[in-house]
């Protein structure tokens, strides 16, 4: 099997709006990222996935693009972007651009033209349908941001499809011209020297709305193969598809090398485990660790030799993992380190979301006026109208809302955590005086250094990248597995709970590779794992 650079590195995701503001307007920007490249180099990452920086009216914080070949004013200019690419490349860091091509903004020139008149050459760039016989929406497809996925357009008397906000009309991938435009734009970015693409909701592009097919449409993989051929296929780039409906079985279609589609996908099965059966993301259920093991082990096994996994706990759409499945109070440091060790020791490319490396936590709100995210705000009003209790809605937002991940990055203990000298676009988490980068770098036992060590270990130990995975049978709350490579064996043991848990193995220890306690131990037999304890040992 050919080996690729993107299997060997760790990727760091930046949500530019919330990362670092260089000009005091309260919004993070490209120069702000450049200022922090040395910090990222110290962490050891090999690539940055940059959430969208393109021109956008910001209905969905940049995921609504009005010009794919221009930079958002608040973030800087194309010169800044080129400087970022050059400065990152100098430090051995590649830039992965976010590719949002399931939809554009309604302020994109294509849509402005398309909505003017039914005969516009751009009309067919989008998806239009007549009202149903009773005058209502063409069908009952719903938007991921609440309500119908169809919006009536007065001008021409038809509805257009929008799986996200009304200002994010869906592109019509059936139209060859749309596909050509997208490939052209991708090549524009490839020519600038980027390291690859993260592809937003890419499993929606094969949609057949008339038949109410959204994800996994019949032509999805044809389109991806065509895209590969016409753009990145000639180079060794990292391509990761965001695929909400991926299963271990169909994920091979994307990442099996001979199919020539993508490097890997972001799957959601592990992220969906704290949702009630048949519920929406807001319908909370406690995490069942046994299920988490089952799901992750299945992905490890299925994509073992026939594809490649991405490994992540966080992104700009998910709540902070230490608040979600760790313990962000008494065991914050311990549990954040455990989650890091557990994830980075699995087979695949790990992703770190800004702030994860210092254990940043969720930020609860007590009133909807404190929310900025369109998804949470729409859901709040929809559920209120349906008669839900305000307290319950806010509890869901506090547990799952996207603002949790989008609070500005905490750099130090000064005003606004050094994120901005102005007024931050979104308030910071109050705990920034205790949880910030400056403190993390000063504390030898901080979460930061666990991440740094994991990244360093990956550079030195091929077993971490290529070793096979085998789950170990344990009590539910203990998550343990082996990695095996060329006669070498590593045993990973983690306690996924705030209670002491039993663990025992007859393996003979050779040496400790990494751990999150200072315990000295020489045997693996009959151990009492401390709350959130994690260690990796090389065994005979
Ligand atoms: C997935 C992105 O990660 C999310 O932030 C965005 O709102 C939707 N796709 C729509 O682009």
Average pLDDT, integer, range 159-174: 98
Dihedral sign, CA of 212, 378, 159, 127?
Answer: negative
Annotated catalytic residue, options 59, 74, 242, 375: 242
Average pLDDT, integer, range 310-331: 98
Average pLDDT, integer, range 3-22: 98
Check whether 64 has a pLDDT greater than 80. Answer: yes
> Residue 520 — very low, low, confident or very high, per pLDDT cuts 50/70/90?
confident
Average pLDDT, integer, range 417-424: 98
Mutational test site, ligand 1, from 57, 99, 100, max ligand atoms within 8 Å of CB: 100
pLDDT of amino acid 348 = 98
Average pLDDT, integer, range 164-189: 98
HSE value, Cβ hemisphere, 13 Å, CA-based, for 259? 19
Check whether 529 has a pLDDT greater than 80. Answer: yes
Annotated catalytic residue, options 21, 59, 200, 356: 200
pLDDT of amino acid 187 = 98
53 by Cβ neighbours in 10 Å (0-12 / 13-18 / 19+) ranks as buried
pLDDT digits (tens, 9 = 90+) for 477-510: 999 999 999 999 999 999 999 999 999 999 999 9
Q: How far is the CA of 327 from the centre of ligand 1 (A)?
A: 27
CA–CA dist 341, 234 (Å, integer): 35
> Residue 1 — very low, low, confident or very high, per pLDDT cuts 50/70/90?
confident
Mutational test site, ligand 1, from 60, 242, 281, 319, max ligand atoms within 8 Å of CB: 60
140 in catalytic set: no
> Residue 462 — very low, low, confident or very high, per pLDDT cuts 50/70/90?
very high
Residue 163 is encoded by which pair of tokens? 């799986």
Contact 376, 397 (CB under 8 A): yes
CA–CA dist 297, 313 (Å, integer): 15
Check whether 280 has a pLDDT greater than 90. Answer: yes
Q: How far is the CA of 175 from the centre of ligand 1 (A)?
A: 23
Task: Report residue 537: phi and psi, to 5°.
Answer: -125, 145
pLDDT of amino acid 432 = 98
pLDDT digits (tens, 9 = 90+) for 424-456: 999 999 999 999 999 999 999 999 999 999 999
Check whether 169 has a pLDDT greater than 80. Answer: yes
Domains belonging to the chain, first-starting first, are: 8-103+176-195+266-450 (3.20.20.80), 109-161 (3.90.400.10), 468-539 (2.60.40.1180)
pLDDT of amino acid 516 = 97
> Residue 463 — very low, low, confident or very high, per pLDDT cuts 50/70/90?
very high
DSSP 211: G
pLDDT digits (tens, 9 = 90+) for 263-278: 999 999 999 999 999 9
Q: How far is the CA of 142 from the centre of ligand 1 (A)?
A: 15
pLDDT of amino acid 521 = 82
200 in catalytic set: yes
pLDDT of amino acid 522 = 87
Average pLDDT, integer, range 81-105: 98
Percentage, residues of the chain above pLDDT 70: 100
């Amino acid at each position: 099997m050919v080996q690729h650079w993107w299997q060997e590195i760790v990727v760091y995701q930046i949500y530019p709006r919330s990362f670092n503001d260089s000009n005091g307007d309260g919004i993070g920007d490209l120069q702000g990222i450049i200022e922090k490249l040395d910090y990222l180099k110290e962490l050891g990452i090999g690539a940055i996935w940059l959430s969208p920086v393109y021109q956008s009216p910001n209905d969905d914080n940049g995921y609504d693009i009005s010009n794919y070949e221009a930079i958002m004013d608040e973030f800087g200019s194309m010169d800044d972007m080129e400087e970022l690419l050059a400065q990152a490349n100098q430090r051995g860091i590649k830039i992965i651009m976010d590719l949002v091509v399931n939809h554009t903004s309604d302020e994109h020139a294509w849509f402005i033209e398309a909505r003017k008149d039914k005969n516009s050459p751009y009309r067919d760039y989008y998806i239009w349908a007549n009202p149903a016989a009773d005058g209502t929406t063409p069908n009952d497809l719903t938007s991921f941001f609440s309500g119908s996925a169809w919006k009536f357009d007065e001008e021409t008397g038809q509805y257009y499809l929008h799986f996200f906000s009304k200002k994010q009309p869906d592109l019509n991938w059936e139209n060859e011209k749309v596909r050509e435009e997208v490939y052209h734009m991708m090549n524009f970015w490839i020519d600038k020297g980027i390291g690859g693409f993260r592809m937003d909701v890419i499993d929606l592009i094969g949609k057949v709305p008339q038949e109410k097919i959204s994800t996994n449409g019949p032509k999805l993989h044809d389109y991806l193969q065509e895209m590969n051929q016409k753009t990145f296929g000639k180079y060794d780039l990292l391509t990761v598809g965001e695929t909400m409906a991926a299963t271990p079985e169909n994920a091979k279609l994307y990442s099996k090398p001979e199919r020539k589609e993508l490097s890997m996908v972001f799957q959601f099965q592990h992220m969906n485990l704290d949702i009630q059966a048949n519920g929406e993301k807001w319908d909370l259920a406690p995490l069942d660790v046994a299920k988490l093991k089952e799901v992750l082990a299945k992905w490890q096994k299925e994509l073992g030799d026939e594809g490649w996994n991405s490994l992540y706990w966080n992104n700009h759409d998910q709540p902070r993992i230490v608040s979600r499945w760790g313990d962000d109070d008494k065991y914050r440091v311990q549990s954040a380190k455990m989650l890091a060790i557990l994830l980075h020791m699995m087979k695949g490319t790990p992703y770190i979301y800004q702030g994860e490396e210092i254990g940043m936590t969720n930020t609860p709100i007590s009133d909807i006026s404190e929310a900025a995210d369109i998804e949470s705000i729409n859901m709040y009003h929809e559920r209120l109208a349906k008669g839900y209790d305000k307290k319950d809605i806010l509890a869901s937002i506090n547990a799952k809302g996207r603002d949790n991940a989008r609070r500005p990055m905490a750099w130090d203990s000064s005003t606004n955590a050094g994120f901005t000298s102005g007024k931050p676009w979104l308030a910071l988490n109050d705990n920034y005086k205790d949880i910030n980068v400056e403190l993390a770098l000063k504390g030898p036992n901080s979460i930061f250094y666990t991440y740094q060590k994991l990244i360093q270990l990956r550079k030195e130990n091929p077993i971490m990248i290529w070793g096979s995975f085998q789950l170990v049978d344990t009590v539910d709350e203990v998550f343990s597995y082996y990695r095996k490579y060329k006669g070498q064996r590593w045993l990973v043991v983690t306690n996924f709970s705030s209670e002491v848990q039993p663990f025992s193995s007859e393996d003979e220890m050779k040496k400790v590779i990494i751990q999150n306690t200072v315990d000295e131990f020489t045997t693996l037999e009959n151990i009492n794992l401390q709350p959130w304890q994690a260690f990796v040992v090389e065994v005979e």
